[in-house]
């Protein structure tokens, strides 16, 4: 608008550019943005009201629409596509410590029986914990063990590997590597030294056994 009396020192950006700016701001902002908020954030001399009108027209009939909420503006998905959004509201919760430890033991020792998990953790494994891990599809039943009572075993699933970004359970670091990475801060007590010296090796041996290569 070169003919406005209070013409700024700097030319305002072209309208197409202002439209892009409004588009980016509304996209990235969590809450609807009032017109005043747009004016504040855009370069001097911009006219967000006009940019909004253009943008609104541009998104007409698209998968998302520019809508006015009170006196603020925001993008919303088109109402007729709501059926696609059903998976969008997922509430994530942190897994309990008991569940993480149980899961870790299954991952490192699979196939492992419930009794073995309890032996390693030193506490009984609640039914709910195992159920939860099965429901999450992170562990599943493996082959029965050929020991008295033929107990069922647990193994981790492909879903587990996907979730934790692992190519295989074999890629999990062993105790020695955990220690090297500083994930294992605690040091064995001085008295237990000879045992600690052997332990990592044994661990590694266990593991390659476990995954049978």
Interface ranges with another protein (CB under 8 A): 24, 27-31, 74-79, 82, 85-95, 97-101, 103-105, 107-108, 119-123, 131-132, 134-137, 140-141, 162-166, 172-175, 178, 181-184, 186-192, 196, 203
- Please report whether residue 172 would count as binding its own copies according to CB under 8 A: yes
Nearer to its own copies, 5 or 148 (CB): 148
Q: How many residues does the chain have?
A: 213
CB of residue 27 to another protein, shortest distance in Å: 6
Closest of 31, 25, 59 to residue 43, by C-alpha: 25
Q: Which of 143, 132, 60 is nearest to 100 (CA)?
A: 132
Collapsed DSSP state (helix, strand, coil) of residue 155: strand
**What is the DSSP pairing of strand 33-34 with strand 64-69?**
unpaired
Taking the C-alpha atoms of residue 9 and residue 75, their distance in angstroms, rounded to an integer, is: 33
Site residues, its own copies (CB under 8 A): 19-25, 27-29, 41-42, 61-64, 75, 77-78, 81, 84-85, 87-88, 114, 127-128, 130-131, 140-144, 150-153, 157, 165-168, 170-173, 177, 180-183, 208
């Amino acid at each position: 608008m070169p003919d406005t009396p209070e013409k700024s020192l700097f030319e305002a950006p072209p309208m197409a550019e202002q439209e892009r700016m409004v588009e980016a701001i509304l996209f990235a902002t969590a809450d609807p943005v009032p017109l005043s908020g747009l004016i504040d954030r855009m370069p001097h001399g911009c006219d967000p009201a006009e940019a909004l009108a253009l943008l609104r027209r541009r998104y007409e009939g698209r998968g998302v629409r520019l809508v006015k909420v009170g006196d603020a503006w925001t993008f919303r998905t088109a109402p007729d596509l709501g059926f696609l959004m059903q998976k969008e509201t997922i509430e994530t919760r942190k897994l309990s410590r008991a569940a993480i430890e149980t899961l870790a033991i299954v991952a490192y020792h699979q196939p492992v029986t419930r009794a073995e998990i309890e032996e390693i953790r030193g506490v009984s494994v609640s039914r709910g914990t195992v159920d939860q891990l099965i429901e999450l599809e992170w562990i599943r039943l493996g082959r029965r063990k050929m020991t008295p009572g033929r107990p069922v075993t647990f193994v981790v699933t492909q879903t587990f590997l996907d979730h934790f970004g692992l190519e295989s359970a074999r890629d999990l670091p062993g105790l020695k590597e955990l220690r090297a990475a500083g994930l294992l801060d605690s040091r064995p007590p001085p008295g237990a030294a000879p045992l600690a010296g052997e332990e990592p090796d044994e661990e590694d041996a266990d593991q390659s056994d476990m995954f049978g290569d």
